[in-house]
Structure 1
């Protein structure tokens, strides 16, 4: 494997770990505050967007140049609303209607959508390693959600709806921003995407008030919110940045460690219980990650071709 590929693997695995940790932390925050999903996301998106763009300005980078190119800023706005905002909103709503692990697992239907899209566009089946990884990831997701029996799935219609939309938006924000990132850089695209997404949600969610939100927080819940904001921002930067070095299919599948991390933290911290088949599902997801990191010749040859997405 070439050095850049090593970097891409490190970025996506680290980003997935941070995101997996954030799910149970968000669930804890909702348990201990009166924050709504919209309240939380307005704060998260605005904080992250302003922080990233502020850093770029401090580094004397021209963050406004993109707005002189209509084709690019139109795509940026699409990414901000459909990718960044919708992706996070549907995930948080799924979490709120079910739990952190379920929300994370719904997100991992996204790689299946990506794989189908790539295969359809290229009119070529995925590589052997990718197919095996898909099978392992899907099997792991099934066992984690059902504990080996479909009858054990107990989700509301809203949870299923938001979960499905989470998968779709996951695929979109994985595939859509690649050309923008290559031209403008990860930090600028993610920063603008978060800031624009936060502004749009703030305009739609007129009930939002910083004063009201502050009144619902204690020192403990404020510190937790701050940790979540920082870890969430870092996870998105690492995830989107990994697209420079890895294919969309690889990035989507490698991030399948997220539900495993979320499950471990939920068991150890939130005291949620998981059955033997769910633990087996976690093992399958780890196998999927291992399959994708093996230096198979077929995989290496296809990485370059898939980067044209």
Structure 2
């Protein structure tokens, strides 16, 4: 296995695990505090964006160079508003309305959309192993969420809308920033993406007061808020960074371990029930990840070259 591919696999697996952990943490925050989805996102995006850019600046990287190229910063703004903000807000709102695991189910409609995009854009069907892996991963997610019965999913219309927006946002931020990442690196793109998204949301949600929110938090909830911000930020950096080493479709499918992690954390921490079919679903997702960790097939090579 090539070093670049191995690095990409490590990045996406760790990033997916962190995102799987962040969902239950956010769900817990909504249960224990009065913080809203928008308030949480403003805090996460602004603090994370500033932190990433500050670290890059300390390391002597020119963080403002991208703003000297109009075509580049226009793409960056599009990524920040539609990809970064759109995906995160839709996901977190779905968590608030339903729960972390259900939000993850909708997010994983993304690989289906990406597969369709790749097939149409590059005029090549996915390889057999990828088709099988897609079926295995989606079947596993179905069992994890429903415990074998679609009737167990009870969602409001607004939850469905935000869930579908989560899938679209997931697909967009996987595909759109590939050329930006190749030229500027994932930390810079994620840092600016988060900061711009946070500023846009802050302007939309005026008035906003950090002090007012801080006054409602305890040491415990403040700690969990910090962990939610840290895990979510690292997840985005690793996920988008993995796109330099893996194809968008492969990256999105490998991240299917997210619901498995979310379910495990939800069971052990939030005391949610876990049925036999859900155990089967977890095993199917692990099987899909193992299958996708095999050497790349032709489609992934073509897709990565075209996107780059």
TM-score interval (norm. to shorter)? over 0.9
Q: Which residue of 1 aligns with 2:303?
A: 306
- Equivalent residue runs for 1:28-67 within 5 Å: 28-67=28-67
Cα deviations by residue, 1:181-240 (Å, 9 ceiling, x for unpaired): 111111110000000000000000114211111111001100111111111111111101
Q: Which residue of 2 aligns with 1:187?
A: 187
Contact preservation (8 Å) 2:19, 2:232: yes
Q: TM-score with structure 1 length normalisation?
A: 0.97
- Report deviation, 1:282: 1.4
Q: Distance in 1 between matches of 2:209 and 2:250?
A: 40
Q: Distance in 2 between matches of 1:300 and 1:10?
A: 19
In the alignment, structure 1 segments of 5+ residues that lack a partner are none
Contact preservation (8 Å) 2:124, 2:299: no
List structure 1 runs of 4+ shifted beyond 6 angstroms: none
Q: TM-score with structure 2 length normalisation?
A: 0.98
Q: Distance in 2 between matches of 1:146 and 1:220?
A: 32
Q: Distance in 2 between matches of 1:7 and 1:26?
A: 28
- Equivalent residue runs for 1:135-150 within 5 Å: 135-150=135-150
Q: Which residue of 2 aligns with 1:230?
A: 230
Cα deviations by residue, 1:230-251 (Å, 9 ceiling, x for unpaired): 1111111110100000000100
Q: Which residue of 1 aligns with 2:117?
A: 117
Q: Distance in 2 between matches of 1:98 and 1:49?
A: 28
1:217 and 2:217 aligned? yes
Q: Distance in 1 between matches of 2:288 and 2:229?
A: 29
- Secondary structure at the residue paired with 1:216? coil
Q: Distance in 1 between matches of 2:272 and 2:42?
A: 28
1:241 and 2:241 aligned? yes
Contact preservation (8 Å) 2:15, 2:239: yes
Contact preservation (8 Å) 2:49, 2:195: yes
Q: Which residue of 2 aligns with 1:258?
A: 258
- Report deviation, 1:92: 0.2
Q: Distance in 1 between matches of 2:135 and 2:298?
A: 21
- Report deviation, 1:143: 1.3
Q: Distance in 2 between matches of 1:185 and 1:271?
A: 40
